[in-house]
Structure 1
Amino acid sequence: MHAIVLHAFGPAENLVHEKVAPPVPGPGQVRIAVAAAGVHLLDTALRAGHQGPAPHPTVLPTIPGREVAGVVEALGDGVDGGWLGRRVVAHLGFVPGGYAELAVTEIERLHEVPENLGFPEAVAMIGTGRTALGILQFVELGPDAVVLVPAAAGGIGTLLVQAAKHAGATVIGLAGGPEKAARVRAEGADLALDYTDPGWADRVRDHSGTVTVVLDGVGGETAREALALLGEDGRHLVFGWSAEGIAAGGGHLADRRSESLLGPAMLRRTGGPDPLRTLELRALAEAAQGRLRPAVTRFPLPEAATAHHALETRATIGKVILEP
C-alpha cells in the first residue's frame, strides 16, 4: 500500500508519499480501506517536532494521522464477522497511521457511518465535531445571545456558527479574506466580516452594539479586538490560540465579564463511562440529521505536504481531508 511517511521532523516537505507494508490487524482490531483521513493542526505541530499534548514522544519513521473513515476489509482475531464490509469512521487517539490507504484500529473506536453521510464529513465530525460540541457544553445560547466567532471559516468555527444560529442566537463570524467571509455568510451568520479589514469592529458595533459571547480559537490581535466588543456579563471561551498567543488571561475580565480556558479535558465533561465516544455519537447524529454540516477541503493523499502547508497558512476552509 501507499502511505505518507515522516522520516525526520521539520517542514511539510518532509512528508513523503511512498510504498510501505500494509498493517496487520491484531486481536480485537480491524483494518480499514481508508476513503478519507483527517488532517489536524496538531498533526502539523507533531510533524515539526513539537510534542504538544501527545502522551508519548513521536517515534520516527511514522505515518501521521489520527482520524479515518472507510470500509472494513480485514478482521483480527476475535472480531465479529459482521464488521466486514461496513462503512466506519474512527478517531485513532494518539496512535498514528491515518495518512494511508489502509489503517488498523480497535473495534471499540469504530462508529458506523450513516448512509446519508459521506466519508469526509464523517471524519470531520469524529474529531472536529466532537470538539465543537465539547465547547458548546460551556455556554447556553438562545435568542438573546450575540455570538462572535473569530475563526468562523475553520472546521470548528463553521460548526459553532451553525450551532449558535440553530439555537436562535445572533451570530457574527470573522474570517480572513472576502472569499472566506462569503462562505461564513452562506453558513448562516447574520454578519460575516473579513478580519483583515481594519474597520470590522466598528461594523460589529453598528450592527449589534456589544456581544455576549466570544468563542475564541485564534487569540492574537483579532481576539483582543473581539474582547473590546464583549458586553457586561459577557463570556470569553478560549479553546485555542493559533495566531500569536492567548488574547487575555487570569480567568476574569473587567465589568463582570468572565473568561474560561478550555483544554482537552473539556471533552470529558460529558460524563459517563466513555465521554469522548458520547460526544462522537452526538456529533455524527447531528450531521446525519442535517443540523450540523461540516465544511471540508480535500487533497489527494500524495499531496499531504501541500495540505499541511495550506492549513498552516490558513488557506483552507473547514476540515482538511486527505483522500487516497
Structure 2
Amino acid sequence: MHAIQLHTFGPAENLRYEKVPDPKPGPGQVRIAVAAAGVHIIDTTIRSGAHGPVPLPELPTVPGREVAGIVDQIGADVDTAWLGKQVVAHLGNAPGGYAELAVTEAARLQEIPDNIDPAAAVAVIGTGRTTMGILQFAELGPDSVAVVTAAAGGIGTLLVQYARNTGATVVGLAGGPAKVELVQHNGAHIAVDYTQSDWVEQVRAQLGDRSATILFDSVGGEITRAAVNLLGKGGQHLVYGWSGRKPGDQPFALSEEELAERGITSQLVIGPPMLQRAGGNVRVLEDRALAEAAAGRLRPAVQRFALADAATAHHALQTRATVGKVVLIP
C-alpha cells in the first residue's frame, strides 16, 4: 500500500509518500480500507518533534489518528458482521491513519450513518466529539450571545451551527473576507474579519446594548484579549486552544484579579476536564456528534487534500490557510 511516512522529526517536507507493507489485523482488530484520513493540529506538533499532549512515536511512523472507510479484514475474536461495513474510528494515540490501509481495535469502530460521507465522518469523529466535549461546559439558549473565535475552523464551524440551533445570537470571528462569508453561511448572525483594526467596534455596533455571555476560544493572544472584553458580567470564557498565543502570553488573557473584578470566569475545557465531564468515556461524545450530524444539525466543513499532498496539508493548516477540517483522500 501507499502511506505517508515520517523518518525524521522536523518540517512538513519530511512527510514522505512511500510504498510500505500492508498491515494485518491482530486479535480484536480490524483493517480499514481508508477512504478519508483526518489531519489534526496535534499531528503537526508530533511531526515537528515537539513534546505535546500525545507521546512522540518511534520512527519511522505513519502519522494520523482518524480514519473512515470500509472494513476489509478482521482479526481473531472480531464479529464477522463488521466485514464490509462503512466505519469511522479515532485511533487514539496509535498513529497509522495517513495510509491506504489502517488497523485499529474493533472496539473503536463507529458505523457511519448512511447520510454522512467518509470525509465528513472523519470530521465528526474527531472535531465533532471535541465540539460536544466543549459544549458540556456551556448553557446556550435564546438569551445567550456566543462569540466564536476561529469560527471558520473545524470546531468553530460546528460551534456556530450548534449555538444558532439553540436560538443564541452568534458572533463569528474569522480572518479574511472568504472565511467571513463562510461563517455567515454557517449561521452566524454577526461575522467579522479580525484582521481589520476596528473589528471590535463592528461587533459592538451590531450587538447594540447587549454584551457577550460566552466566548468559545481557540486562539489566544491579542484577538482573545479583545474578544474577552466583549463579555459582560457573568460571562464565560471557554478555552480549547491557543493557536495565536505568543511565548510569554497569559493563557487566559485576563489575570485572576481582572476576572474577579469583572465577574467573568475563564476555564480550560480541553483534555482531562472534558473527559472527566463525559464520565471518562469519549465514545459518549462520539455518539452525540454522529447523532447531531445524522440529524443534519451539524454539517462539518471539510477541506480535502490528496494523501500524497500531506506536506501541503500540514503547511496549510499551520498557516491558517484552511477552512474546516483538513482531510487526506488516498
Is the TM-score greater than 0.5?
Answer: yes
Query: Partner of 1:16: helix, strand, or coil?
Result: strand
Residue identity opposite 1:238 in structure 2: V
Q: Closer, same or farther in 2 for the Cα pair 1:202/1:271, shift >3 Å?
A: closer
Q: Matched residues in 2 for 1:260 and 1:165: separation?
A: 22
Name 2:288's counterpart in structure 1: 282
The answer for unaligned runs of 5 or more in structure 2 is none
Identity of matched residues, %: 60
Deviations 1:155-185 (A, max 9, x none): 0000000011001100000101000000000
Name 2:45's counterpart in structure 1: 45
- Conservation of the 8 A alpha-carbon contact between 2:221 and 2:253: no
Q: Matched residues in 2 for 1:247 and 1:186: separation?
A: 30
- Conservation of the 8 A alpha-carbon contact between 2:36 and 2:67: yes
Deviations 1:44-76 (A, max 9, x none): 00000012011x332110000000000000111
Deviations 1:97-147 (A, max 9, x none): 000000000010000001111001110010100101100110100111111
Q: Matched residues in 2 for 1:261 and 1:278: separation?
A: 20
Name 2:308's counterpart in structure 1: 302
Name 1:86's counterpart in structure 2: 85
Q: Matched residues in 2 for 1:161 and 1:250: separation?
A: 28
TM-superposed deviation, 1:210: 2.0
TM-superposed deviation, 1:269: 3.4
Name 1:184's counterpart in structure 2: 183
Displaced runs of 4 or more, over 4 A: 249-252
Query: Partner of 1:13: helix, strand, or coil?
Result: helix
Name 1:258's counterpart in structure 2: 265
Name 1:221's counterpart in structure 2: 222
Which aligned pairs between 1:103-142 and structure 2 lie closer than 5 A?
103-142=102-141
Name 2:195's counterpart in structure 1: 196
Residue identity opposite 1:231 in structure 2: G
TM-superposed deviation, 1:212: 1.0
Query: Partner of 2:222: helix, strand, or coil?
Result: helix
Q: Matched residues in 1 for 2:273 and 2:38: separation?
A: 21
Query: Partner of 2:180: helix, strand, or coil?
Result: helix
In the superposition, the TM-score normalised over structure 1's length comes to 0.97
Query: Partner of 1:100: helix, strand, or coil?
Result: coil
Name 1:320's counterpart in structure 2: 326
- Conservation of the 8 A alpha-carbon contact between 1:267 and 1:275: no
- Conservation of the 8 A alpha-carbon contact between 2:91 and 2:108: yes
TM-superposed deviation, 1:268: 1.6
Root mean square deviation, CA, Å? 1.2
Residue identity opposite 1:104 in structure 2: V
Query: Partner of 2:317: helix, strand, or coil?
Result: helix
Name 1:231's counterpart in structure 2: 232
In the superposition, the TM-score normalised over structure 2's length comes to 0.95
Q: Matched residues in 1 for 2:137 and 2:218: separation?
A: 14
Which range moved further: 286-295 or 200-209?
200-209
Q: Matched residues in 2 for 1:119 and 1:266: separation?
A: 29
Which range moved further: 242-251 or 11-20?
242-251
Q: Closer, same or farther in 2 for the Cα pair 1:251/1:120, shift >3 Å?
A: farther
Q: Matched residues in 1 for 2:3 and 2:255: separation?
A: 44
Q: Matched residues in 1 for 2:170 and 2:278: separation?
A: 29
Q: Closer, same or farther in 2 for the Cα pair 1:226/1:49, shift >3 Å?
A: same
The answer for unaligned runs of 5 or more in structure 1 is none
TM-superposed deviation, 1:250: 5.3
Q: Matched residues in 1 for 2:109 and 2:15: separation?
A: 27
Q: Matched residues in 2 for 1:266 and 1:304: separation?
A: 31
TM-superposed deviation, 1:247: 4.5
Which range moved further: 202-211 or 252-261?
252-261
Residue identity opposite 2:84 in structure 1: G
Counting matched residue pairs gives 322
Query: Partner of 1:31: helix, strand, or coil?
Result: strand
Deviations 1:206-243 (A, max 9, x none): 11142111110110111111011111111111111011
- Conservation of the 8 A alpha-carbon contact between 1:216 and 1:223: yes
Query: Partner of 2:184: helix, strand, or coil?
Result: helix
Residue identity opposite 2:173 in structure 1: L
